[in-house]
Amino acid sequence: MLSIKDLHAEVDGKTILKGLSLEINAGEVHAIMGPNGSGKSTLGHVLSGRPGYEITGGSVEFMGKDIFEMETEERAHLGLFLAFQYPVEIPGVSNMEFLKAAVDAVRESRDEEAFDTVSFMRKAREACTAVDLDQAFLKRGVNEGFSGGEKKRNELMQMMLLEPKLCILDETDSGLDIDALQVVANGVNTMRAEDRAFLLVTHYQRLLDYIKPDFVHVLADGRIVKSGDKTLALELEEKGYGWLEDEVA
Amino acid sequence: MTDLLSPQLNLETEVPDWLQARRLAGRATWDNSSLPTRKTEDWKYTSLFPLQQDFTAAPVSDASATELGLDLPELSGSRLVFVNGHWREDLSTLTSDAALEVVRFSEADDEQSALISEHLGTTVPSAKHLFAMLNDAALTDGVFLRVRANSKAQHPVQLVWHNSHSENTFISNQRLLVLAEHHSEASLVEHFSGSDNAFTNGVTELVLGPGARLNHSRLHLESPQALHIGGLHARLDRDATLESFHLALGGKLKRIDIVINHEGAGAHCQLDGIYLLRGNEHVDYHTCIEHAVPHCTTDETFRGIIGDKARAVFNGRIHIHPDAQKTRAELSNKNLLTSASAEVNTKPELEIYADDVQCAHGATVAQLDDAMLHYLRTRGISEEEALVLLSYGFINALVETQALDSLRDYLKPLLADYFGATAGAAAEQCANLTRHIGA
Amino acid sequence: MSQEQIDKAIAKDYAAGFTTDIESDTLPPGLTEDTIRFISAKKNEPEWLLEWRLEAFRVWLEMEVPEWAHVHYPEINFQEISYYSQPKSMEDRPQSLDEIDPELLATYEKLGIPLHEQEVLAGVAVDVVFDSVSVATTFREKLAEAGVLFCSISEAVHAYPDLVRKYLGSVVPRKDNFYAALNSAVFSDGSFVYIPKGVRCPMELSTYFRINEANTGQFERTLIVADEGSHVSYLEGCTAPMRDENQLHAAVVELVAMDDAEIKYSTVQNWYPGDAEGKGGIYNFVTKRGLAHTNAKISWTQVETGSAVTWKYPSCILRGDNSVGEFYSVALTNNMQQADTGTKMIHLGKNTRSTIISKGISAGKSSNAYRGLVRVGPAAKGARNYTQCDSLLIGDKCAAHTFPYIESKNPTGIVEHEATTSKVSDDQLYLCQQRGLDPEKAVSMIVNGFCKEVFKELPMEFAVEAGKLLEVSLEGSVG
């Protein structure tokens, strides 16, 4: 599904990714861990095509297509979803309005018929319930005045409605209490499917107590320095990132 | 048109060549211009009618401080006193401070003269500020304050411009040039007080070099019928910080233009002002902040309380030029009207030519909140005292943020007395009404 | 937003730009007393109206072109403008829609005003001003049943001379300003509405203006009188074809709301804005003002996306106690457009209230200014105003200005003004794009969200149209 080969990328002229390679197949859950500044969040933004993130080498194929020539929304149409670490507030644009527009756009790109308003609203309400968000949030501006946890759950709700192929969760666990973390994890777990993959970007292994990954990768200085199964995450938690850096060096 | 200039020309004294050139240029502009009328946008709400009278040249006075009724804050540093625009060495104190040079234009040495002539007038675009041109034309002396680079002044400098009582209405000319060199720090207080029958035409120029920090206050404590048209013009180089505090107590005609030019990236200006009017006073503050370069910030707050038949005008303009990206500028103007015949005209303007900026302005006009007044009274506070408390509360924040302790200590009782008297209390009661202020 | 995106924003097309080939009876350019006599004679006007016009003309000659607005344009030569243009086939007035020139009807179709359909579906009565003569008025009969008078002003001059004579110029006096004086001298046609006491107008009333003839200034005059306790909602839409040269439009709209009456006046203005270099387009210099008596309410809602230069301040004179004034505005400028628009709220009566919500959006190299006056008179005890004006900038070559004048002479009045300026941020665009929205759709959504408070004040049909109009105006605004 996703094939990253020797990816190099710069942000503001500073090289962040220095030869990252990663293969993700449908149905898999991957976790990328790493210390602050290792390039974890950069990867998500490079994949989704954030302006200012420049590819300087390597290739990325998603769903069999080279995505670097594609606009951000085209990548989204293909099924790439990024749950932001810091979701942006858009005052004045209601959540419902925003969701309907996004879902319509994605469905249109797949030549699927748009939902009629009534059935869409029903789906949206269901999604709200699934992420334990009051339905009043549908009427509020996108992320406007939401708490940190509410923003994260709002991201998850969008993910459910857009039904993407690859879900990248960028530090979705940060700032969440245990209850909220479980809500997020449940949401992800119910979405796991044979034709869908997940890439969890996280600093701590606690998220992985609730979402069991098939693979764990350690990112350091812009490259994946070690891969393994979920025991790697526990090892990291115990020994800290310093251990790995020493080992790699 | 030369009516206002002619009495001052009689004073023709010998001045250095560089000053003479400026005088002639100012005179030429003044002679070729006509007084603004109510149709001139900048003078829409302020009539210059009070200037339609005969003025004489400013008389020399040798009255003592007591006779003059001088009441000044104790600020510990140098104090320069001018009476009717004339230097009074006997009333002044000059303390030495390695960071400072304070000198009158007429006494300046060669190096100082060179600096004065290099900077004088550079903050004032000639065509726009006609009265600054009148000031130029009548220039015989002024004060030059230099804050040396990389040094910090130990004490605030105080400049006092007092007008004494006189048989005839006269004109006095005031001029100050401050050059705060790079990475210098200093505090400065300008104090205006005195006579009902004087017209002060004042110009203060502040030139702040890179990284300079200047704390400036301009207190207008003149008599209720005094006339004053003045300007504060400042230029801020990169990373310079200007804190400027303004207080105006009435005047028959008081018009102050404050123009701050952000000319270097990272400059910051905090501009605060209070105007308190009663009787038939008229105060007009026109402020203009020019953001010409990126990354500069402005916080501007003006508050006014207007009673009786007084009339206040506030015009706050923020102008963001095309290259001034990442500007943050905020302006707030709040007004309290305390009488049915009082009037306020406020116009906060934003003029923006850059897109990546954060700008906001707000203005309100209202009277004291009845609910608050009622609440205080249910707690046993008299209506008069509650009025004083709330009025003072309206402007309190601006006094409290004043950086100079000694100035705050001077202002609080002064304002308390003002509100006490406004509430109509006799002197002995006044203390009671104002006892909570500054507590 | 990237330069490329901005450049595309500038490359928008004017969807309503087409001309209709109809022979017109057009007066040659020039303005003298004879021009006015010609117009008056052509309309077979009574003597008093001719005198009224001539008096306005004499006043106008003495006046100077206003220069205080934040707009710049070459001096207008008023002698080069033609002051009257009438579609020729209109000499014999059509008695029903069937008799109207099919090409004319086709024009309306292109504009999205299908008269036939509207008749049936929308229930909107339309008084169409095509260039200067009122072409057709639908639903007249149904309105007549309710006692509502809705016709062209030239017709009203003959049919209801007392009403016209009483109210014409009563809110906007002839010498009010330069363009109002000009309009009073040469006004060609416009709408007249009278709602009798206690009547709630059974449908939304609507007029579409369209400037068709080259070099014809359009000077409509609208007069709406809502008698005691009545209620009316009036919609005005405007378009003009593409032309290289600038065309002048100087209208006057007067509203009179008697005690307890309510008038809601909505405008969607989409005059031709000129091309990307600022060539052509309409000069839109309009005076709109309403007079509210006791307990009356006047509400202006405008969506302004067209015209090369706009100079327009729909105002409320709140004369009666407890009267209410509202102004909701969206002004969008793109390319070289210039707008200086806002409102005046004059509080004269006790407990008068006003609300001003203004949303300015600037893109391209345009300039967009809000200019507003809130005046609380000495007798306006308990007056209350709240003003909010927000500006949104798209691209770094445009400009946004705010000039609010607040004049208060009564301590019991409360006036509040707030203004902010922001831009469509890259982060907001990115989030929308990541969720699969193309950047154009994203910008249009953000802009629509920004304007929401105003759109909700528009009647339903117009709200939809306004949203679409913004979308068209911003078309290609981002890559």
Q: State whether A73 and C433 contact (CB < 8 Å).
A: yes
Residue C155 has what pLDDT?
84
Residue C129 has what pLDDT?
55
Residue C123 has what pLDDT?
37
Chain C interface includes A88 (CB < 8 A):
yes
Residue C124 has what pLDDT?
43
In total, the C-beta contacts within 8 angstroms joining chain A to chain C are 79
The rounded distance, in Å, linking the Cα atoms of A12 and A16 is 10
Q: State whether C435 and A162 contact (CB < 8 Å).
A: yes
CA distances from C453 to C262, C340, C465 (A): 20, 21, 16
Which chains touch A (3+ CB pairs under 8 A)?
C
From B1-15, B52-66, C62-76, the region with the lowest mean pLDDT: B1-15
Chain B interface includes C79 (CB < 8 A):
no
Residue B208 has what pLDDT?
97
Q: State whether C437 and A105 contact (CB < 8 Å).
A: yes
Whether the ipTM is more than 0.90: the answer is no
Measured CB to CB, residues of chain C less than 8 Å from chain A are: 2, 425-428, 430-439, 441, 445-446, 448-452
Q: Which of B358, B360, B363 sits opposite C406 (nearest CB)?
A: B363
Q: State whether C400 and B341 contact (CB < 8 Å).
A: no
How close is the nearest chain B Cα to the Cα of C464, in Å? 29
Residue C188 has what pLDDT?
81
CB A35 within 8 A of CB A220: yes
Of residues A203 and C383, more confidently modeled: C383
**CB atoms near residue A189 (< 10 Å):** 13
Arithmetic mean of pLDDT over chain C: 79
Residue C17 has what pLDDT?
47
Which chains touch B (3+ CB pairs under 8 A)?
C
Kindly list the residues from chain B whose CB atom is less than 8 angstroms away from the CB atom of residue C416: 362-364, 366
Q: In this predicted model, what pLDDT tens digit does every residue of A82-107 receive, in sequence order?
A: 998 888 777 767 788 778 878 888 88
Chain B interface includes C378 (CB < 8 A):
yes
Residue B332's pLDDT band (cuts 50, 70, 90): very high
C142: exposed, middle or buried (Cβ count in 10 Å: 0-12, 13-18, 19+): middle
C137: pLDDT strictly greater than 80:
no
The rounded distance, in Å, linking the Cα atoms of B152 and B180 is 10
CB B98 within 8 A of CB B148: yes
Quick one: tokens of B53? 């009278």
Residue C328 has what pLDDT?
93
Nearest CA in chain C to A73: C436
Of residues B66 and B270, more confidently modeled: B270
C94: exposed, middle or buried (Cβ count in 10 Å: 0-12, 13-18, 19+): middle
Residue B438 has what pLDDT?
47
Residue B226 has what pLDDT?
92
B432: pLDDT strictly greater than 70:
no
Q: In this predicted model, what pLDDT tens digit does every residue of A147-206 receive, in sequence order?
A: 888 888 998 998 999 899 999 999 888 777 788 888 889 989 999 999 999 999 988 788
From C37-41, C64-68, C84-88, C468-472, the region with the lowest mean pLDDT: C84-88
Of residues B206 and B355, more confidently modeled: B206
Distance of CA C42 to the CA centre of its chain: 26
Mutate to test the interface with C, among A48, A93, A95, A167 (most CBs of C within 10 A): A93
Average of per-residue pLDDT across A239-249: 67
Chain B interface includes C406 (CB < 8 A):
yes
Residue C408's pLDDT band (cuts 50, 70, 90): very high
From A71-85, C92-106, C291-305, the region with the lowest mean pLDDT: C92-106
**CB atoms near residue A215 (< 10 Å):** 18
Mean pLDDT comparison of A200-209, A229-238, B69-78, C376-385, highest-scoring range: C376-385
Q: Are strands A53-62 and A2-11 parallel, antiparallel or unpaired?
A: antiparallel
Q: What pTM does this model have?
A: 0.79
Kindly list the residues from chain A whose CB atom is less than 8 angstroms away from the CB atom of residue C425: 88
Quick one: tokens of C477? 């605004």
Residue C207's pLDDT band (cuts 50, 70, 90): low
Which of C85, C297, C57, C282 is CA-nearest to residue C175?
Answer: C57
Which of B54, B158, B37 is CA-nearest to residue B97?
Answer: B158
Q: State whether C408 and B335 contact (CB < 8 Å).
A: yes
β-partners of residue B203 are B175, B231
Residue C355 has what pLDDT?
95
Kindly list the residues from chain A whose CB atom is less than 8 angstroms away from the CB atom of residue C357: none
Q: Which of B341, B354, B363 sits opposite C417 (nearest CB)?
A: B363
A16: pLDDT strictly greater than 50:
yes
Kindly list the residues from chain A whose CB atom is less than 8 angstroms away from the CB atom of residue C446: 90, 92-93
Residue A38 has what pLDDT?
84
Residue C461's pLDDT band (cuts 50, 70, 90): low
The rounded distance, in Å, linking the Cα atoms of C180 and C221 is 10
Average of per-residue pLDDT across B206-210: 96
Kindly list the residues from chain C whose CB atom is less than 8 angstroms away from the CB atom of residue A50: 430
Average of per-residue pLDDT across B231-247: 95
Chain B interface includes C418 (CB < 8 A):
yes
Q: State whether C437 and A82 contact (CB < 8 Å).
A: no
B10 phi and psi angles, rounded to 5 deg: -65, -20
Of residues B101 and C428, more confidently modeled: B101
Q: State whether C433 and A97 contact (CB < 8 Å).
A: no
Residue B311 has what pLDDT?
95
The rounded distance, in Å, linking the Cα atoms of B171 and B157 is 25
How close is the nearest chain C Cα to the Cα of A80, in Å? 8
Q: Which of A50, A90, A158 sits opposite C449 (nearest CB)?
A: A90
Kindly list the residues from chain A whose CB atom is less than 8 angstroms away from the CB atom of residue C434: 48, 72-73, 76, 81-82, 84
C2: pLDDT strictly greater than 50:
no
Kindly list the residues from chain A whose CB atom is less than 8 angstroms away from the CB atom of residue C439: 71, 73
Q: Which of C398, C406, C421 sits opposite B365 (nearest CB)?
A: C406
Chain C interface includes B422 (CB < 8 A):
no
CB C316 within 8 A of CB C300: yes
CA distances from C120 to B332, C124, C140, C209, C293 (A): 53, 9, 14, 21, 35
Mean pLDDT comparison of B355-364, C206-215, C273-282, highest-scoring range: B355-364
Residue B16's pLDDT band (cuts 50, 70, 90): confident
Tell me which amino acid residue B101 is: E
C120: pLDDT strictly greater than 50:
no
CB B312 within 8 A of CB B324: no
* Rounded (5°) CA angle C228-C231-C232: 130
C479: pLDDT strictly greater than 60:
no
Which chains touch C (3+ CB pairs under 8 A)?
A, B
C90: pLDDT strictly greater than 70:
no
